[in-house]
Amino acid sequence: MTSKVELVSVVIPKLNEAGTILEAINTIDTYTSYPKEIIIVDSNSTDGTIEIVKDTNRCRLIIEPRRGYGLALMTGMKSAKGNIIVMVDGDGTYEVRHIHRMITKMVEKDADMVLATRMYDPNKAMGLFNFIGNKVITTFYDFFYSQFLSDTQSGFRAISHEAIDKVKLNEGDMAYATEMLVQFAKEGFSMIEVPTTYKARKYGRPKLRRFKSGIEIFSTIFRGILDAETIRKCQENWKQNRFR
Ligand SMILES: Nc1nc2c(ncn2[C@@H]2O[C@H](COP(=O)(O)OP(=O)(O)OP(=O)(O)O)[C@@H](O)[C@H]2O)c(=O)[nH]1
Ligand SMILES: [Mg+2]
């Protein structure tokens, strides 16, 4: 539950995103009027990103030498001081202006997590493979974990710090985001979505390795399904919450 905003910690994992990071920082600074801190977690970028971040003097920079999207987020969240944590990519693909709208919704609905969904975006900028993969994963996830999400692979989320501290997450790479949803469903934490827009990557290369990530994400979902206790809890939570 998130009934008030004390401090928002925006955690940005980034690796070689020199072309987009400054704009992301500036936009977050301008459009998020809640009290905030920006934490950048870098795995030793070699394209000048680190220098750009240092020059801004507006962010806390953490070097996490181990590679992996999940590891970077775990490290960043560990040092977050806010009662709300926002995770978002530093690659210019997500509309970071929408952080404000996500947090307002979070407080209004007293939610544990708000995901920015890209599924209602009129620009349809998501690549076809990613779109299909996302749809399949989301359908499986919703069915087995009794949820109604439309974009489980969104890496743009506002999360209650208290809630994330209660779950144990181990996935070091892209499956981290799915593991978080599995654990939140098991704990009965409330998850809602707000629409956002999405842009295709303009700078650098994606770090997502589709095949490897696909296997890890499905393994994460199926591991939870095989755990009868998890599924029982999700169904129980759904029954309790459906008339709310
Ligand atoms: N610190 C750190 N950040 C990472 C690592 N791998 C990925 N990232 C960052 O995590 C975010 C998500 O990775 P992306 O490559 O954008 O993956 P994606 O969003 O699936 O791919 P795109 O559609 O191309 O954006 C980006 O901001 C990356 O720079 C890593 O090993 N270390
Ligand atoms: Mg990205």
pTM tops 0.85: yes
Nearest CA to ligand 1 atom 9: 14
In ligand 1, the atom with minimum distance to the C-alpha of 41 is: 1
Per-residue pLDDT at 236: 84
| Separation between Cα atoms, residue 88 and residue 38, nearest integer Å | 11
Cα 241 → chain centroid? 24
Nearest CA to ligand 1 atom 24: 206
C-beta 89 within 6 A of ligand 1: yes
C-beta 102 within 6 A of ligand 1: no
Q: Which residues of 70-97 are buried (b: 16+ CB within 10 A; e: fewer)?
A: bbbbbbbbeebebbbbbbbbbbbbbbbe
CA distances from 99 to 75, 107, 201 (A): 21, 13, 19
Q: Which helix (H) or strand (E) holds 40?
A: strand 36-42
Q: Which helix (H) or strand (E) holds 131?
A: helix 128-145
**Nearest CA to 91 among 196, 176, 206, 214?**
206
In ligand 1, the atom with minimum distance to the C-alpha of 66 is: 31
* pLDDT tens digits along 84-114: 999 999 899 999 999 999 999 999 999 999 9
Q: Residue 244 Cα, ligand 2 centroid: separation in angstroms?
A: 35
**DSSP code, position 97:** G
C-beta 173 within 6 A of ligand 1: no
Q: Residue 91 Cα, ligand 1 centroid: separation in angstroms?
A: 7
For the chain, which ranges sit under pLDDT 70? 242-244
